[in-house]
Amino acid sequence: MAKITKIKRRKHQGKVHDLCVEGIHAYNINGLSVHNSGASSLCLYCLGVTKLDPIKYDLIFERFLNPERISPPDVDLDFDDSRRQEIFDYLIHKYGAEHCAKIGTYNAFGPKNCIQYAVKALDLGKDWETMQAQLVQNPNRKPVETKKSIGLAMEISKLIPEKPGLKLEEVVRTVPAFKDACMKYPKLLDMAMNIEGTLVSAGVHAAGMVVCRDKLVDRVPLRQKNGVICTQFDKNEVEKLGLLKVDILGLKTLAVLENTVKLIQERTGKYIDVDKLVPNDPEVLAVFSGRKNRLTTKGIFQFESPGMTELLRNIRVDSFNDLVVANALYRPGPMGSGMHDEYCNYKHGRKEIKVAHPKMKDILKKTYGIMVFQEDTMRIAQELAGFTFGQADILRKAMGKKNPQLLKEQREKFVIGCANKNIEKSTANEIFDQIFKFAEYGFNTSHAASYALLGYQCCYLKYYYPIEFMCNLLSSEIDRTDKLNVYMKDADLMGITIYKANINESGMGFKIFTDAKENEALLSPLTVLKGVGAKAVGTIVENQPFTSLSDFLSRIDLRKANKKVFEVLVSSGSLDGVWSNMSRRDLQNQYEATKKKIDKAKKAKKKEEDRIEFYGGSLFDNEDVELKI
C-alpha cells in the first residue's frame, strides 16, 4: 500500500480507486478473472478481485504499477460472456450514469478495404457501361445488373496478406502478384493510397468502459451510438487523459466452470471452490501430458489445440509451472525461434544449460536458463545491473518499442550498472543483446499464470466430475456445430453416452439422466436440431410433457413451432416411441388432420368465449371454456 500511496499523482486524480467485488457478487455474478498484469497486485488479490496469489507464484507488482511507470495501469477483467452487460449496469449503478461511458472506436481504411472501394468506385469491371449499353439497345427493358467490379475487387484484395499494420506501399514492394494486378489499372493504386488510413466509421468498444470521479462530460467529449453513450476519444486518448479504463471481457469458460460447480452441488451436495484448488494434483497434470488414455485436453481452456497438445506432451507436464511456461511458449514468435524445443531439451537433460553469467542460472531456474517471460528480463536487470523494478520495467518497454535512441540510453545504463557489480563490459553487452533478442517474444507472466490456472480448474473438473463438466461444456457450444461435434466425440471417448433429443424431456441445454440400463448419460437438447429455433424450443419446453399428438399441437404456439419444425422433430427421432409407438410416417400423415381438428375446436372455443362475454353466462357455466377436440 505504501507503493500505491507513493504513486498518487495529479494525472490519476480523475480516477475511482475501487472495484467492489462484493457488489458484483450481489448480482450473483461469481465468474471473475483478471488476466493481465493486474494479477501481480497483492492489493487486488486481498480485495478478492484476482484469484492468483502473487507471492506464491512470484509475480512482480512493479510489472503492474511502479513510480517510474509513465502510463497508468489498467485491469483486464474476464466475466461470463452471457452476463457482461450486467457488469456494465453494475458500474453505472454504483458510480452513476454521468460518471461512466463506453469507449468509442474508429475504423480506418486498411489495404484490402482501400482496394475494394477503389475498384468499385472506378468501375473497373465496367458494370455501369454494360448497363448503359443495355438501355441503349432496349430502353423499355430493365437492365440486368452485373457485378464484375465486386468480383475483381475481391480477386485483387485477396493478394494482400493478413498482417497487422500493413501498408499498401509495403504490399506493392513485397507482393509481385499484387503489383502486377495494379499495373493493369493505372488509377487504382493512386486512388487506394489516397484513401488509405482515412476514417470510415465510428463504433463502440465491446469491452472498454471509462469511469471517472468527476462528471465525464467535464473531462472528455461524448457521443451516442445506437442509444449507447460513449467517448469521442478512443482508448489511447482516454488513457492519456489519466482516466480509469476498465476492460470487461467476456469468457465462456467462466460460465462453464460456474455452471459445472452448481450442477455438482445439485447432484452431490458438495461445493467445489475452484479458486481454492492447489494446482499440483498429479492425476490432473497427467491429463495435460497425455498420460490418461481416455482423457484429452479437449474443452480445456488454452490447452486444447493440436499444437498445444503436442507441446504439452513434449514438455511432459509435471508441475503448474510447466503449464504457465507452455502458455507463454505456444505463440508464433517463440515457436518460430525454437524456444519450445530448447525448453524441452534443457528440462529433460538432453542439452547442457548455458548462460552468459552464473547469476542468470538462479534467476532463470524455473525456465531452465531460458528467458520466457517479460519479468525474466526485469529480474536480470535488477540482479545484474542494480536496476529498481520500476527502472527494469522501463527497460522492458524500451525493448518492445525498439526506439534506437532509447535503447542506446538503456544499454549504457545497463552496462554501467553491471560494471558496478563487477561484471565485464563484454558480458554485459552480450546479456543486453540476449534481452533485446528475447524482447520480441517475451510474454506477461501474470497473464500466462492466470489463464493456466483457469485451464487447470477446467481439467480438474473434467477429471473428477466428467459428466457434469461435459454436460456444461456441450451446452456452451450449442451454436457452434463444429466445436459441438468435436466435444461429442470426446465425450464418447470418455465413455459418456449421448442420447438424441426427446420431445418430452429435452430442454434448452444438455441434461444428465439415467438411461434404461441404469447408466448415467447425457440427453441432447432440442436446440441442437437444425431448423428448430430458440422460440420453437421455448414454446415446447414451457408446455412439456405431452401425452399425444393432439395434446402437443393444441398447447404449443404453432406460429413459433410450425409444420417445418414438426418435420425436423420427426425426422430427427425426437418423437420416436413417445406416443403409443407411432411411427414417423404415422406422425407425418396425421399432422394435417389433427391440426385441422384443433383449429376447428379453437374456433368453437373462441366463439363460445365471445358469446359469454357479450351476453353473459348462466350461473351454472364454468369459468373457463374447455377446448373439445
Does residue 284 surpass a pLDDT of 90? yes
pTM of this prediction exceeds 0.75? yes
The answer on 180 and 209 residing in a single domain is: no
- Backbone dihedral angles phi then psi of residue 228, each to the nearest 5 degrees: -100, 130
Q: Is 98 helix (H, G, I), strand (E, B) or coil?
A: helix
Q: Give CA–CA dist 80/93, Å, rounded.
A: 19
Give me the half-sphere count of Cα atoms (radius 13 Å) on the Cβ side of residue 422.
2
Task: Looking at the structure, tell me whether residues 328 and 445 fall in a common domain.
Answer: yes
* Residue 82 near residue 255 (C-beta atoms within 8 A): yes
Question: pLDDT category, 493, cuts 50, 70, 90?
Answer: very high
Q: Is the domain of 432 the same as that of 337?
A: yes
Q: Is the per-residue pLDDT at 618 higher than 60?
A: no
Per the domain annotation, does 465 fall within a domain?
A: no
Closest CA to 313 of 347, 277, 284, 287: 287
Whole-angstrom distance, CA of residue 17 vs CA of residue 212: 10
Residues 354 and 426 in one domain: yes
- For 562-612, what is each residue's pLDDT tens digit? 889 999 999 998 888 787 777 888 888 888 888 888 888 777 777 777 777
My answer on whether 285 and 421 are in the same domain is yes
Domain termination site, one of 197, 221, 242 = 197
How far apart (Å, rounded) are the C-alpha atoms in residues 4 and 38?
13
Q: Is residue 477 part of a domain?
A: no
Separation CA 89–CA 95 (nearest Å) = 10
Average pLDDT of the chain is 85
What pLDDT score does 216 carry?
A: 93
Task: Please tell me whether residues 120 and 98 are part of one structural domain.
Answer: no
pLDDT-based confidence at 65, cuts 50/70/90?
low
Which H or E run includes 223? strand 222-225
Q: How many helices (H) and strands (E) does the chain have?
A: 29, 10
Within a domain: 431: yes
Question: Which long-range contacts (C-beta less than 8 Å, at least 24 apart) are formed by 558-567?
Answer: 558/595, 560/533, 560/535, 560/536, 561/532, 561/535, 561/536, 563/591, 564/531, 565/531, 565/532, 565/533, 565/536, 566/591
Task: Report how far residue 530's alpha carbon sits from residue 309's, in angstroms, rounded to the nearest whole number.
Answer: 32
**Residue 551 resides in a domain:** yes
Is residue 21 scored above 50 in pLDDT? no
Number of other residues whose CB lies within 10 A of the CB of residue 193: 16
Position 260 in a domain: no
Do 566 and 627 belong to one domain? yes
pLDDT for residue 71: 60
Confidence of residue 620 (pLDDT cuts 50, 70, 90): low
Distances (CA, A) of 43 to 64, 207, 591: 11, 24, 65
Q: Alpha-carbon distance 553 to 425, whole Å?
A: 86
What cell was used for 578? Answer: 413417445
Indicate the number of domains in the chain: 4
Higher pLDDT, 359 or 578: 359
Instruction: Tell me: pLDDT of 452 over 60.
Output: yes
Let me know: does 325 contact 443? Beta carbons within 8 Å: no
What is the 8-class DSSP label of residue 331?
S
The Cα–Cα gap between 336 and 328 comes to 13
Which DSSP symbol is given to 245? E
Is 147 inside any structural domain?
A: yes
Long-range contacts of 420-429 (CB under 8 A, 24+ apart): 420/385, 420/386, 421/384, 421/385, 421/386, 423/357, 423/384, 427/356, 427/357, 428/384, 428/385
389-401 vs 404-419: helix axis angle to the nearest 10?
Answer: 140
Residues 155 and 132 reside in one and the same domain: yes
Structural domain ending residue among the three candidates 382, 416, 450: 450
Cα–Cα distance measured from residue 89 to residue 92, given in angstroms and rounded to the nearest whole number: 5
Task: List phi, psi (to 5°) of 444.
Answer: -75, 120
Q: Find out whether 383 and 423 touch, Cβ atoms under 8 Å.
A: no
Note whether 309 and 437 are same-domain residues: yes
Same domain, 535 and 621: yes
Judge if 46 and 133 occupy the same domain. Answer: no
Q: Is 50 exceeded by the pLDDT of residue 547?
A: yes
In a domain, 311, yes or no: yes
How many residues in total does the chain contain? 629
CATH number at residue 241: 3.30.1900.20
* The predicted structure's pLDDT at residue 28: 42
Beginning with the edge strand found earlier in the chain, give each strand of the sheet holding 222-225 in spatial order: 32-34, 75-79, 244-250, 199-211, 100-108, 228-231, 222-225
Structural domain harbouring 141: 111-197
Sheet with 520-523, strands from edge to edge, namely 498-499, 520-523, 511-514
Looking at residue 134, its pLDDT comes to: 87
CA 627/CA 29 separation, integer angstroms: 44
Cell 547469476 belongs to 359
Q: Which three cell numbers stand for residue 253?
A: 469458460
pLDDT tens per residue across span 187-209: 998 999 999 989 888 999 988 88
Q: Which of 37-46, 80-89, 452-461, 582-591 has the lowest mean pLDDT?
A: 37-46
Residues 62 and 29 in one domain: yes
More confident residue, 25 or 493: 493
Q: What is the pLDDT of residue 373?
A: 87
Query: Angle CA(444)–CA(446)–CA(452) in degrees, nearest 5?
Result: 105
Q: Which of 290-299, 342-351, 408-417, 430-439 has the lowest mean pLDDT?
A: 430-439
pLDDT at 306: 93
What is the three-class DSSP state of 165? Answer: coil
What is the chain's percent helix, strand, coil content, to nearest 5?
Answer: 55, 10, 35
Cβ within 8 Å of residue 558, ≥6 positions away? 595
Note whether residue 457 is domain-resident.
Answer: no
